Structure 1
């Protein structure tokens, strides 16, 4: 059973520099109890994908394609009908809880408002439900938390409050945008454990947007890698971690700090993400790719099905090693030195 289905979703923005296509022909689905991770650098289109699905794009944004929640089309839905779904059936945890929570209202008022609007609860019933949900996200002394303003809470406490607010109405789809950003590693581990508990307890379909592959490894079932607005690889987390088939996925994995005997430095992805108003010809990743060849510069690879039903958009089919990346970086440094 599919709870959220996205088909050929494209998102464009009108800017002074021209039209920016932030998301290009995105396709994915997520089922109850499943966790999908959307991974990529800043500007790759991760957040705009889910903002479009939630109907929260900026005024200069335009959407094409289809987003169906439980069989109902969300693109073009009237705002009143969409508001009934947002917060109740679909909920989103935003990246920065300090800016997402209203600094002028106590936590109690903000949580109670959600329940009174979506569930038509009386205030006393809504307060009890809010306290119960704060216990669910393992916040001690929930009555005290309810009386606090956001600035009186720690970063981890605010993040838990945001999760509790998102879960108040038992949503069927939960979207978390960079949920562990700016949290220390201990709190991050607690958040990941909490998400795993919640998906198991409520059978919620969870979408995690992140650039932190450590989050993906410990939580997600499937991983979708985005670059310059397009999906470049998609498959199970185990397959993509242990056998990546796109150089960008390979680069992300090998530019992530981890303990490994004999490895004393990172192998970074060279260069910067492209300007979306002026993408390079061929594959958008080719200027940064250590495995590119002539075809990559002339032709854009399609996202096609590989073995085990995984998807990849790359012409290169050989083995990828860290040595190849390091050699490519060395050659670039030699060119820079020669040029000076």
Structure 2
């Protein structure tokens, strides 16, 4: 299966008054057509900034270096006007809060149809017809009536579906969803995840799901990338990471996630707080919170390296099977 996105040595930094903060360091990964990649980590781990940099949407004091290739097209460093040819058409992003992402003064039909008018050169009538069909496709009842509404007249779940419809109108190769189920109730979350599964299958779109909710990841993603302190610390197939995590941070995330099959089990939180990106500890950034740390972890930063089979990588010096050792402790 071909790669639709190749990220190489991506770094993102922000200039402050007297210093520079590195939000993302040395990020490398690929994304295949039709697959779903979950990017997981706590707030401040660099998840969103990685993809905002690819989309050319960093804050003014932000700077990205490295490479993000969509086919033969290099996205990093591309001028905004040139990026506009690809944003929305070949690569689209669903933002965390649809209420602030949609224009409150424009009706839904206007916001959807202008995407097709701009990128596909449709006339208004054809664009509106296509927009209404997409609203129906993403599960919005009475799509003609909803298209004539303003964003504040729709529920949170409806607005999220509108954002998905908008992102999919041009059949993008890559769809980035930033915390797509945040602030939605459990029933609507389940509906949204079913929608993502069907859309990636029907359209062949590669989906990146940025989240801190491992419950969301389990039923949707093919592969997972765990980030901590601005770096990728473990990558691999979702089942491998869930059943045999090899980085203590991945284990910590799993142990602090409720499991309906183990209701009696007490959740184990990750002790301590995420590190300040301005003052990362020496050695492994996770060492202040790690139960498996040893002397080398305080002196050297472990590189993200392959191990075993099935395209797995980890950035950890510890060689044991963490889940088995945790259960036997």
Is the TM-score greater than 0.5?
Answer: yes
Equivalent position of 1:104 in the other structure: 105
Assess, with a 3 A threshold, how the Cα gap between structure 1 residues 326 and 282 changes in structure 2: closer, same or farther. farther
C-alpha distance in structure 2 between counterparts of 1:324 and 1:238, whole Å: 18
C-alpha distance in structure 1 between counterparts of 2:315 and 2:206, whole Å: 26
Which ranges in structure 2 are unaligned for 5 or more consecutive residues? Answer: none
Equivalent position of 1:218 in the other structure: 219
Report the secondary structure of 1:280's partner residue. Answer: coil
C-alpha distance in structure 1 between counterparts of 2:80 and 2:194, whole Å: 35
Equivalent position of 1:142 in the other structure: 143
C-alpha distance in structure 2 between counterparts of 1:290 and 1:326, whole Å: 14
C-alpha distance in structure 2 between counterparts of 1:27 and 1:262, whole Å: 37
C-alpha distance in structure 1 between counterparts of 2:73 and 2:243, whole Å: 37
RMSD after superposition? 1.6
Equivalent position of 1:286 in the other structure: 287
Pair 1:120 & 2:121 matched: yes
Report the secondary structure of 1:307's partner residue. Answer: coil
Report the secondary structure of 2:293's partner residue. Answer: coil
Equivalent position of 1:192 in the other structure: 193
Length-normalised TM-score, structure 1: 0.93
> Residues 91 and 174 of structure 1 are in contact (CA less than 8 Å); yes or no, is this contact kept in structure 2?
yes
Report the secondary structure of 1:233's partner residue. Answer: strand
Q: CA deviation at 1:102?
A: 0.6
Q: CA deviation at 1:63?
A: 0.9
Q: CA deviation at 1:305?
A: 0.6
Q: Deviations over 1:241-278 (max 9, x none)?
A: 00000000000001001234473421000000001111
C-alpha distance in structure 1 between counterparts of 2:183 and 2:254, whole Å: 21
C-alpha distance in structure 1 between counterparts of 2:23 and 2:214, whole Å: 22
Assess, with a 3 A threshold, how the Cα gap between structure 1 residues 90 and 271 changes in structure 2: closer, same or farther. same
- Greater shift in the superposed pair: 131-140 or 77-86: 77-86
Equivalent position of 1:306 in the other structure: 307
> Residues 35 and 200 of structure 2 are in contact (CA less than 8 Å); yes or no, is this contact kept in structure 1?
yes
> Residues 87 and 166 of structure 1 are in contact (CA less than 8 Å); yes or no, is this contact kept in structure 2?
yes
> Residues 290 and 324 of structure 1 are in contact (CA less than 8 Å); yes or no, is this contact kept in structure 2?
no
> Residues 103 and 150 of structure 1 are in contact (CA less than 8 Å); yes or no, is this contact kept in structure 2?
yes
Equivalent position of 2:81 in the other structure: 80
C-alpha distance in structure 1 between counterparts of 2:70 and 2:263, whole Å: 48
Report the secondary structure of 2:240's partner residue. Answer: helix
C-alpha distance in structure 2 between counterparts of 1:246 and 1:254, whole Å: 12
One of 294, 316, 319 as aligned partner of 1:317: 319
> Residues 94 and 177 of structure 2 are in contact (CA less than 8 Å); yes or no, is this contact kept in structure 1?
yes
Pair 1:35 & 2:39 matched: no
Report the secondary structure of 1:84's partner residue. Answer: coil
Matches within 5 A, 1:142-221: 142-221=143-222
Equivalent position of 1:18 in the other structure: 19
Q: CA deviation at 1:73?
A: 0.8
Q: CA deviation at 1:140?
A: 0.8
Equivalent position of 2:130 in the other structure: 129
Equivalent position of 2:53 in the other structure: 52
Q: CA deviation at 1:80?
A: 2.1
> Residues 17 and 277 of structure 1 are in contact (CA less than 8 Å); yes or no, is this contact kept in structure 2?
no
> Residues 22 and 277 of structure 2 are in contact (CA less than 8 Å); yes or no, is this contact kept in structure 1?
yes
> Residues 290 and 325 of structure 1 are in contact (CA less than 8 Å); yes or no, is this contact kept in structure 2?
no
Length-normalised TM-score, structure 2: 0.96
Report the secondary structure of 2:219's partner residue. Answer: helix
